[in-house]
Amino acid sequence: MKPFLTSGSSDRAIGLALAGAALFATAGPAVGQEATGSSDTIEEIVVTAQKRNENMQSTPIAISAFTADAISRKGLSDIQQVSRLAPNVSFDFTSPISGASNAASVFIRGIGQQDFALTTDPGVGTYVDGVYVSRSVGGVLDVLDIERMEILRGPQGTLFGRNTIGGAISIISKMPEKEFGGSLEASLGNYGRRYLRGSISLPLGPDTAVRISISSKDKNGFVKSAYTPQQKSLLRGTPLTDLGNENRQAARMVLVHDFSDRFKATLSGDYSRLRENNAADRLAGITGTLADGPLVFAYNSFGSTPSIIPVIGNDRYTPANYITGRDRTYSTGPNGSSIDAWGTALTLDFEASESLSIKSITAYRKTTGSFNRDADGSPLVITETSNYGYRHKQFTQELQAVGDVADGAVKYAAGLFYFDEKGSDPLVVRLPEVVGTIYQDVADVRNKSYAAYAQATWTIVDGLSLTAGGRYTKDKKRFVSDQYIVTGSASPFLFGGAPAGTLIPLVPRNSVTTQSFEKFSPRASVDWRIGDMLVYGSYSKGFKSGGFNLRYVAPRPSVLSFGPENATTFEIGTKIDAFDRKVRLNLAAFTTDYKGIQVTVFENLGAPVTLNAGDARIKGFEAELTAIPLPGLELTANLGYLDSHYTAIRANPALVSTPEQIISRSTRLPKAPEWQGTISAAYTYALGNDAKLDARADVHFSSRYANDAVNSRFLNQKAYQTLGLSAGYTAPDRRWSLRLFVDNVTDERYIVSGDSNYGIGFHEANYNRPREWGATLGFNF
């Protein structure tokens, strides 16, 4: 797709867009504040982005919010698909290197983190009912029975805090009702799609109610083994088949009890189970010279190639050489993702007075599992990884006070936050037999975080408000590591004369490393309501602490650490509801100084290393438009623009890397396309007795982008567009409904994640799913 504007015209375009919005807003009539929208007006959405209930259009933050009905109409089933909903958002279902089929990698406005390791932190925070979900493994959450989803863009360090340097995704569950009711939904389609979900709300007395929700998803994979059963038996007997499948179940319970009109307790619990093959990776290329692929070189020098494998140049196993199609793999090694995650939370709400509410959120979460992969995508033993005993648990406690003083002229939110997590990720990496096997028997983390925050909004005069706040954070991190390699037959060549079978520590045995970080993150904004338009400007800072490197191939004298990230953002924006709430236009323009960027690259022998690459400047704007030009017809569009580039590069003498892995001023930031957006059209036709027919089309587009920090030629993605279509019928009183859908109508394929390891010599890519179609039948009772 061609860009709409060149980079040099971005500042002028931002100014013209905001000026045009201001003129447009003043031309529209005033609208009232209603709780919901009718079929001929745009829905009002109440959000809690500032820890209080307020209209999204009155919140001076770049925020996109979607109710459960809106998410259902768009056909979304998990939060990985939120990138379709909001501009400048990228959400991948698998992190590079992991192989896990459920390891979230989220970027907002070009800021995020791709490594799933326990020793690194995400750059975008995910929250479920106010509880921070700290780890990416198991982080592709089912949008199971939710009330709404909020996507906050830009640093949210003051009120949300921990690791929200890029933004935050907040999911709010649907609360139980005091009357019996529920829903059931089943979906069938190609690739063996079998989705089932249901929920029920049960009153347990005049002051108590419970809501229970369940979900089951089964779907076949789309990357197949290139071998017949006979060929598999000649290899190692554990072939990868049917990669990218789904087999996951989830359940959630919410129990609410009203002790009085002022005191309420909410107890929630959730569980998810995943038993799948690993993510649908396929080999994108092989580089096998001594300079850029020493392990491949070692194998080719000391090993042998099975005779049944066709040898076609240096790319013998890449998709370009597949006879039977592109979704194929020659892998024969370990395969699987097995994850169990559960959590519970107790929320106590107390209205101390008409002007003060106090909330306590106490939560515990635990994740266990294993995931492994044949990373090189060939029948050769080049790199096979097994994370065989992953475990993580976290405890959080937050106290909030929300209120107002001076007859409501000053509204405030303040709180205290405590976070404690423990985790372990033991690992085995099988390299060519001539090289050896890496064992990481101990990889334990213990992190604690303490924070205090406060924010106040002063209404200076009617329509004009000033907001200021800040958060003080202190993080303490501890890492214990025991990692070593047992050498192979080529060790005299590779390890300076050590005999085969030698145990060589890669870091000192059972080494203990600690770090502490402190930061104050301020925020200030001013907003002014002019008729139907809210105009605002804001200044905010975000912070993400440093950490430790988890994996090594070459011996090091100590654990390699990396420093924190910091982001400072200036933003201006406007929010407009006009023409009797038939048109909504939200615009935001921003510039971000992004310092100490944490990226993951590979050293010369192939170990992934996280380091601080340098500083960058990110500029951009976002536009979100909703219009109802005719009764029943809704048009929506969102557009994001990013101009991101490095302004300084930090040389790291501890890194020994190949030339292809060097980051320079001309390197593009990963997951930061210049243009990205979605255009949708939905039409609803009313039948008799309140029955409805509807049809919907969604077009998502993106300009080219890099999928990794070094802009590997094997992972760079060209511009693409996708199309989704659906049509449905809703019976009177919404008793039942039927929806037919086709996703990715044009069968467009693009890279969503990847691992380009010039050090070892293999490059793997993970693509989106092919065209899918199906039908969904739902019942309400």
Q: How would DSSP label each residue in 96-123? A: TTT--SSB-EEEETTEE-----TTS--S
88 confidence band (pLDDT: 50, 70, 90): very high
Instruction: Answer yes or no: is pLDDT of 20 > 50.
Output: no
Share above pLDDT 90 across residues of the chain, in percent, rounded to a whole number: 64
| Non-local CB neighbours of 586 within 8 Å, separated by 6+ positions | 57, 62, 573, 574, 575, 576, 622, 623, 624, 625
DSSP state of 51: S
Instruction: Answer yes or no: is pLDDT of 145 > 90.
Output: no
Instruction: Answer yes or no: is pLDDT of 38 > 70.
Output: no
Q: Look at residue 227 in the predicted model and tell me its pLDDT.
A: 67
Instruction: Answer yes or no: is pLDDT of 618 > 90.
Output: yes
Instruction: Answer yes or no: is pLDDT of 233 > 60.
Output: no
Q: Look at residue 94 in the predicted model and tell me its pLDDT.
A: 84
Q: Look at residue 229 in the predicted model and tell me its pLDDT.
A: 53
Among 178-182, 430-434, 627-631, 751-755, the least confident range: 430-434
- Average pLDDT across the chain, whole number: 86
DSSP state of 78: B
76 confidence band (pLDDT: 50, 70, 90): confident
**Average confidence (pLDDT) over 302-323:** 46
Tell me the H-state helices in 173-258. 229-234
The distance between the two most distant Cα atoms of the chain, rounded to a whole number of Å, is 85
Contact 66, 83 (CB under 8 A): no
Report residue 323: phi and psi, to 5°.
-85, -30
757 confidence band (pLDDT: 50, 70, 90): confident
**Average confidence (pLDDT) over 434-457:** 94
**Average confidence (pLDDT) over 147-172:** 93
Comparing 764 with 402, the larger pLDDT belongs to 402
497 confidence band (pLDDT: 50, 70, 90): confident
607 confidence band (pLDDT: 50, 70, 90): confident
Contact 85, 153 (CB under 8 A): no
Beta strands in 511-564 (DSSP E): 511-530, 533-544, 547-548, 561-562
Q: Look at residue 37 in the predicted model and tell me its pLDDT.
A: 44
Comparing 572 with 378, the larger pLDDT belongs to 572
Instruction: Answer yes or no: is pLDDT of 385 > 60.
Output: yes
Beta strands in 499-632 (DSSP E): 503-505, 511-530, 533-544, 547-548, 561-562, 565-578, 583-595, 598-602, 608-612, 614-630
**Average confidence (pLDDT) over 162-191:** 94
Q: Look at residue 53 in the predicted model and tell me its pLDDT.
A: 92
Instruction: Answer yes or no: is pLDDT of 21 > 80.
Output: no
Which residues make beta-bridge pairs with 568? 541, 593
**Average confidence (pLDDT) over 218-232:** 75
Contact 710, 666 (CB under 8 A): no
**Average confidence (pLDDT) over 236-248:** 73
Q: Look at residue 325 in the predicted model and tell me its pLDDT.
A: 55
Q: Look at residue 316 in the predicted model and tell me its pLDDT.
A: 53
| Non-local CB neighbours of 320 within 8 Å, separated by 6+ positions | none
Structure tokens at 583: 């048109």
Among 122-131, 286-295, 522-531, the least confident range: 286-295
719 confidence band (pLDDT: 50, 70, 90): very high
**Average confidence (pLDDT) over 516-530:** 96
Instruction: Answer yes or no: is pLDDT of 44 > 70.
Output: yes
Q: Look at residue 584 in the predicted model and tell me its pLDDT.
A: 97
Cα distances (Å, whole numbers) of residue 339 to 245, 253, 389, 444, 779: 14, 20, 10, 18, 31
**Average confidence (pLDDT) over 196-219:** 95
Share above pLDDT 70 across residues of the chain, in percent, rounded to a whole number: 87
DSSP 464-501: EEEEEEEEEEEEEEEEEEEEEEEE-TTHHHHSTTPPTT
Q: Look at residue 378 in the predicted model and tell me its pLDDT.
A: 75
Cα separation of 750 and 738, whole Å?
A: 30
Q: Look at residue 548 in the predicted model and tell me its pLDDT.
A: 95
Q: Look at residue 298 in the predicted model and tell me its pLDDT.
A: 61
Among 272-281, 438-447, 571-580, 633-642, the least confident range: 272-281
Structure tokens at 558: 């100590």
Q: Which CATH number fits domain 7-780: 3.40.50.1370, 3.40.50.10320, 3.40.50.2000, 2.40.170.20?
A: 2.40.170.20
Instruction: Answer yes or no: is pLDDT of 305 > 90.
Output: no
**Average confidence (pLDDT) over 704-723:** 94
Cα separation of 265 and 274, whole Å?
A: 31
Query: With the C-alpha atoms ordered 57, 61, 67, 73, is the resulting torsion angle positive or negative?
Result: positive
96 confidence band (pLDDT: 50, 70, 90): confident
Q: Look at residue 265 in the predicted model and tell me its pLDDT.
A: 98
Among 454-468, 497-511, 626-640, 689-703, the least confident range: 497-511
b/e per residue, 656-670, with b = 16+ CB within 10 A? ebbebbebeeebbbb
Instruction: Answer yes or no: is pLDDT of 465 > 90.
Output: yes
- Least Cα distance to 490 among 501, 476, 481 occurs for 501
Cα separation of 179 and 36, whole Å?
A: 21
Among 177-181, 277-281, 360-364, the least confident range: 277-281
Number of other CB atoms surrounding residue 333 within 10 Å: 25
DSSP state of 539: E
**Average confidence (pLDDT) over 29-45:** 56
Structure tokens at 738: 């039927």
Report residue 570: phi and psi, to 5°.
-110, 135
Query: What are the residue boundaries of the structural domains of the chain, listed by start?
Result: 7-780
Q: Look at residue 17 in the predicted model and tell me its pLDDT.
A: 38
Global pTM value: 0.90
Q: Look at residue 662 in the predicted model and tell me its pLDDT.
A: 84
Cα separation of 507 and 482, whole Å?
A: 7
- Least Cα distance to 692 among 725, 628, 739, 724 occurs for 739
**Average confidence (pLDDT) over 394-398:** 98
Work out the burial of residue 174: count CB atoms within 10 Å of its CB; fewer than 13 is exposed, 13-18 middle, 19 or more buried.
middle
Q: Look at residue 110 in the predicted model and tell me its pLDDT.
A: 96
For 281-299, how does the pLDDT look when each residue is reduced to its tens digit (9 = 90+)?
A: 888 877 766 555 666 666 5
